[in-house]
Structure 1
Amino acid sequence: MAHYNPAWPAGEFRPWPIPATGRCELHIVYKQPLGANFTIDSVINLPPEYWDAIMWTLAARLAPSYGQEASPTVVANAKAALSTIRSSNTQVPTLGMPAILTPVSTPFYWPGLERQAL
């Protein structure tokens, strides 16, 4: 099991149980933003689904420049490729508790507890 806290600027990754030294390997793959200073000779290493999105959306965008209508197949493939990227980049939010159930000042707080004699 593992917990990842996407804090800024450095996230925290906490595996459990902690792997024994020298017995296990842990490989972490993470996403990294693209740079902004590309040249014509720059090598870009992207997953295959990004190349599909680039190719199909470029085809759909360039078709009107050549006096053509983008075919329904090209448009459908562009939408599917962009949908794949959106779903792979979606981060599931952390589950939150209602404010009424969240501890306020003491770890044993419960609404109405302050009125009870302990």
Structure 2
Amino acid sequence: MARELSHVLGGTWREEQSPLADQLEVLTESSRLWILVEAVTDSLAFRLAEHADLGRFLLSFPTWTITEVMGGIADRVSAIKGKAVGELIVEPLDFVARNALHVRYARPVLTSLGPWH
């Protein structure tokens, strides 16, 4: 499936060895995806809006819950009647930490959240 997903989104894929489970990582050329939000718990379960048949995906973080990263998302999704659709964006962030080290990372942001028609 990772091979097919990388074909749809552009990019490359690789298999990750994890003590918890087999995981596939797809590095896409796109920093934006339209998604169908299925559930918000400690993670974000979703399908690709235009390729829902590819299956369910899970966005999670080992040290944070999804609500810490994407504040208010559970309330925003539950306010929508029926299926929710949104644009998942990877936003690059740069800052200087207290120890004067330059930190760069990518933060997921869910925008344009609304009902799926």
TM-score by length of 1: 0.19
Highest CA radius of gyration, 1 or 2? Answer: 1
Q: Answer 1 or 2: higher relative contact order, Cα 8 Å, separation at least 6.
A: 2
Q: Which has the higher helix share?
A: 1
Q: Which has the higher strand share?
A: 2
